[in-house]
Structure 1
Amino acid sequence: MTDKAQADQMRSATGFIAALDQSGGSTPKALAQYGVAENEYSGEAEMFDMVHAMRSRIVKSPAFSGEKVIGAILFEMTMDREIDGIPSARFLWEQRGVVPFLKVDKGLEEASNGVRLMKPIPTLDTMCERAVGHGVFGTKMRSVIDAANAAGIRANVAQQFQYGEQIMRHGLMPILEPEVTISISDKAEAENILMDELLSGLDALPEGQEVMLKLSLPTVANHYKPLIDHPKVMRVVALSGGYGRDEANALLEQNHGMIASFSRALAEGLSAQQSDAEFDATIAASIDSIFRASST
């Protein structure tokens, strides 16, 4: 079962969740943002070595602690590796006081009905068993909404809850992430449909079960307040979704009770070429700004 100290921290501590879960598709972009060009590594193994070094540097930075970063989402390969000789998830919790989560989705299907569902996750049970063995608290899985298509959004949310219930059977806390693309013209309408579908899914959960939600910053401030207040929702977190850090923070501040779970916006300004002092100062400023926006 989930650790009570971790559950208490996720439910009520002030702070935000760091998303350190770039996968094979997004890793080259993350490394490029970090100042590592594609010609500096050869093949997937070297690429993942470099991104693990980047993530380790972030996690070991003095400002990266449970005082402000209450959780972190890991890529499966990160969970399977070590930081300073300690398995990554255990290092996060035992050394930094940060609750570990695991990204479990395997990428997206082709678009249909205005959404991109998750590809099947045939290894989900074994992944969850391994996660429990590593001391992971919960999971995260992303699907995408590209249009205010009621049938597509219903299917998207249904898939999230279906996998969520499978994950809960392992005693893990699922973060459901049906991301609304921030650039679509009917974003507000899509968010209205999404809200209705999420509320229906939550109401259908058995008593005593709860999930977390990771959602795009809404068009209308405080749109997701009914989800934040729902008794079956542990926490609602926001993805940056392509906004720069300053804009994402400004939007987050308008949404009371929502906290950040940023990836690109967290790592903005970090570079492999920085000295440790420069790197630590940059990540500290980033953490401080996202913490403030999450504390509104």
Structure 2
Amino acid sequence: MTENHLTTPTRFVDVGGAKIAYRRWGNAKAGQPPLLFLQHFRGGMDHWDPLMTDGLAEGREVILYNGRGIASSGGQARTRIEEMADDAAAFVRTLGLEQIDVLGFSLGGFQALDLTWRHPTLVRKLMLLGTGPRGGDPAMETPVLTAAARPAPVFEDFLYLFFGKSAQAEQAARAFWARRHQRVEQDPPSSPEVARAQIEANMLYLPRLSEEDPFAYLRGIQQPTFILNGVNDVMIPTVNSFYMARNLPNAQLFIYPDSGHAAQFQYPQRFLHHAAHFLSE
């Protein structure tokens, strides 16, 4: 039987003394580099949308990855984004891969940017979803601090944090929530220690590298880049996507209507159409 999001087994590999969990499946004969997924705050492999992962797996291999200490991975969670990015690079090289495409969502987008910046020969194409650059605008809505930090987030937290405000957006959120819980063998939740480590990493990501030209470092990233956000991101303000689009030399920007932090989950078919075209063009 062909593997998919719901059936592919969790595998483990030793990276720097830590037992790292991952899942890998898809069309290995398509001639495309594998696509590495880097997840949001506290998120594990089962926080991705099966429509998204299986849809992209039709044209390439996809690799879901839990960083050090996250969910089913061993080791101590990192407290700096650059360390997370270096871990991801070491993981890719441990798998024997010379080049990948990378997709980062939210905190995973911070990692994807640093991975591409710090290991440029490893990354062919870059996808940044609901995220921002170092030193970007941190002005999240106040209720985010409660909803995102809840020990066991519930549907209403994801609805507020990730989706738009309309009835149609709520319907899309409920459909995503159902898809997300279809897999029988689910990742365990990440520990409180992971949350604390990632909050510290986020705080260390906020300062600008330069007040005169804060996003100059982005102009050295030459990889074709896909940027997506919702029109009203309550977690990482949408303006950060414009900062990236203006400074990454080969970027294209998509803003989806009536949507928030996770526009790709609200409009999965639209996202698949745009993403597959970007990755194959």
TM-score (norm 1): 0.27
TM-score (norm 2): 0.28
